[in-house]
């Protein structure tokens, strides 16, 4: 089997914390896969670094080789058992983010008195980070309209930034993040691929929601887990096809190895789809579990 770099979102992708059921064997098969010398793992999440570490222990997830947290704004690589922050990435982001704290940007946005900000409320202090300003919005609001309203307000301030909208289906609330223009999940994953010497062709990304879309619709092989919402599936499909990149997106449907395609079963189904040389190993591991 060729080397494989698995980059996966956590909440409702690897972590089964949604409404749908998890196939009983799925996380165990993923854990086996992660122990192969050919396989490297990165967790790519909106969580902060401490909340990522907490999730690894609470959900008994394999120790990853890398953690990309705060929606692509911080990168950690494990060396001799310790996670060390990639300072080069922080330096790249600092060049396009002139704020000491994200609340400085919030104040500037509020000073414009733009109505685009009215539906937004600040997330808790522990969910803000050096390069990420995060808001909640109510689930009835149109996420795309909110994102474009915030972008227009940023334009008025002559400040360029990445704005990402996402829905937390379980907590029934919208999430909107403002990040440095150089940051996104996709850019962070590309930085890691080049830093670690992996290839794009031997990388797979898995996710479930709006803040995974930029990777889903890119040239990187990507799998949308079966428990993703219909609207995210439709948007990923539409955008990847409009860019002629439909071949690099796979939507898990369930059925592979008798599993349902939700969460880690979807990741495994995606690995089998893009990397058939892993099929025999996955089948054998599944049989051992039975």
By the criterion CB under 5 A, which residues form the site for Mg ion?
Answer: 9, 11-13, 208-209
Q: Which is nearer to Mg ion, 12 or 198 (CB)?
A: 12
The pair of structure tokens assigned to 52 is 């990522």
Question: To the nearest whole angstrom, how small is the minimum distance from the Cβ of residue 139 to Mg ion?
Answer: 16
End-to-end, the C-alpha distance of the chain in Å comes to 24
Question: To the nearest whole angstrom, how small is the minimum distance from the Cβ of residue 72 to Mg ion?
Answer: 13
Question: To the nearest whole angstrom, how small is the minimum distance from the Cβ of residue 164 to Mg ion?
Answer: 12
Q: What is the DSSP letter of 161?
A: E
Helix (H) or strand (E) holding 206: strand 203-207
Q: Which is nearer to Mg ion, 12 or 187 (CB)?
A: 12
Q: Which is nearer to Mg ion, 193 or 225 (CB)?
A: 225
Q: Residues 6 or more apart from 149 whose CB is under 8 A from it? A: 114, 115, 116, 117
Question: To the nearest whole angstrom, how small is the minimum distance from the Cβ of residue 41 to Mg ion?
Answer: 16
Q: Which is nearer to Mg ion, 23 or 45 (CB)?
A: 45
Q: How far apart are CA 171 and CA 91, in angstroms?
A: 34
Question: To the nearest whole angstrom, how small is the minimum distance from the Cβ of residue 12 to Mg ion?
Answer: 4
Q: What is the CA radius of gyration of the chain?
A: 19
Q: How far apart are CA 202 and CA 222, in angstroms?
A: 11
Q: How far apart are CA 8 and CA 43, in angstroms?
A: 5
Give the CB-nearest residue to Mg ion. Answer: 11
Q: Which is nearer to Mg ion, 13 or 23 (CB)?
A: 13
Nearest CA to 223 among 199, 239, 247? 247
Q: Which is nearer to Mg ion, 229 or 279 (CB)?
A: 229
Nearest CA to 207 among 234, 240, 178, 232? 232
Question: To the nearest whole angstrom, how small is the minimum distance from the Cβ of residue 120 to Mg ion?
Answer: 20
């Amino acid at each position: 089997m060729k080397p494989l770099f698995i980059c996966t979102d956590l909440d409702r992708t690897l972590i089964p914390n949604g409404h749908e059921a998890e196939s009983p064997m799925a996380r165990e098969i993923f854990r086996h896969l992660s122990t192969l010398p050919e396989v490297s793992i990165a967790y790519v999440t909106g969580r902060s670094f401490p909340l990522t570490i907490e999730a690894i222990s609470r959900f008994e997830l394999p120790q990853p080789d890398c953690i990309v947290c705060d929606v692509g704004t911080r990168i950690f690589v494990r060396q001799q058992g310790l996670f060390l922050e990639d300072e080069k990435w922080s330096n790249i982001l600092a060049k396009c983010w002139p704020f000491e704290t994200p609340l400085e940007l919030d104040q500037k946005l509020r000073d414009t008195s733009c109505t685009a900000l009215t539906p937004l409320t600040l997330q808790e202090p522990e969910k803000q980070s050096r390069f990420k300003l995060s808001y909640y919005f109510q689930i009835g609001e149109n996420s795309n309209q909110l994102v474009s309203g915030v972008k227009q307000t940023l334009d008025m301030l002559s400040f360029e930034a990445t704005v990402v909208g996402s829905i937390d289906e379980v907590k029934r609330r919208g999430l909107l993040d403002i990040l440095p223009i150089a940051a996104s999940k996709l850019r962070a994953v590309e930085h890691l691929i080049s830093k670690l010497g992996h290839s794009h062709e031997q990388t797979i990304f898995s996710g479930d929601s709006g803040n995974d879309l930029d990777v889903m619709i890119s040239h990187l092989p990507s799998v949308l887990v079966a428990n993703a919402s219909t609207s995210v599936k439709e948007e990923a499909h539409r955008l990847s096809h409009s860019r002629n990149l439909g071949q690099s997106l796979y939507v898990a449907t369930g059925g592979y190895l008798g599993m349902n395609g939700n969460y880690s079963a979807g990741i495994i189904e995606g690995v089998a789809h893009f990397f058939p040389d892993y099929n025999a190993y996955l089948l054998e591991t599944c049989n051992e579990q039975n």
